[in-house]
Amino acid sequence: MTSERKLGKNMKRLLAIKVSRDAIPNGGGFASGLEFLMNPERIKEVSLKSLEWCDQAIAAVKSAPDNPYGDDEEVIAGAILEKMGEK
């Protein structure tokens, strides 16, 4: 992530959720979480991949022919968060 990019509240929350889901692999536990937090390179790697995922999700919604959210990244991120909460 570059320090030049400003992320809004919804985008930060979406990114945090994605990072937390990717940080600990399925079946991993406390030790996996601790390993993640103690490894700056892994934090960077997971964060960058998660940001890519967020950007791809936003782009997919923007390009959908029936997109009711327009081009606003914050609005789209909020809609994705709402859908994730419905699960």
CB 62 within 8 A of CB 73: no
22-68: pLDDT as tens digits: 999 888 889 999 999 999 999 999 999 999 999 999 999 999 999 99
Query: Does the structure show a pLDDT above 90 at 2?
Result: no
Rounded to two decimals, the pTM is 0.85
Residue 74: per-residue pLDDT: 96
Residue 28: per-residue pLDDT: 87
- Cα–Cα distance, 62 to 65 (Å, whole number): 8
Residue 1: per-residue pLDDT: 47
CA distances from 56 to 14, 17, 33 (A): 12, 15, 26
Query: Does the structure show a pLDDT above 70 at 3?
Result: no
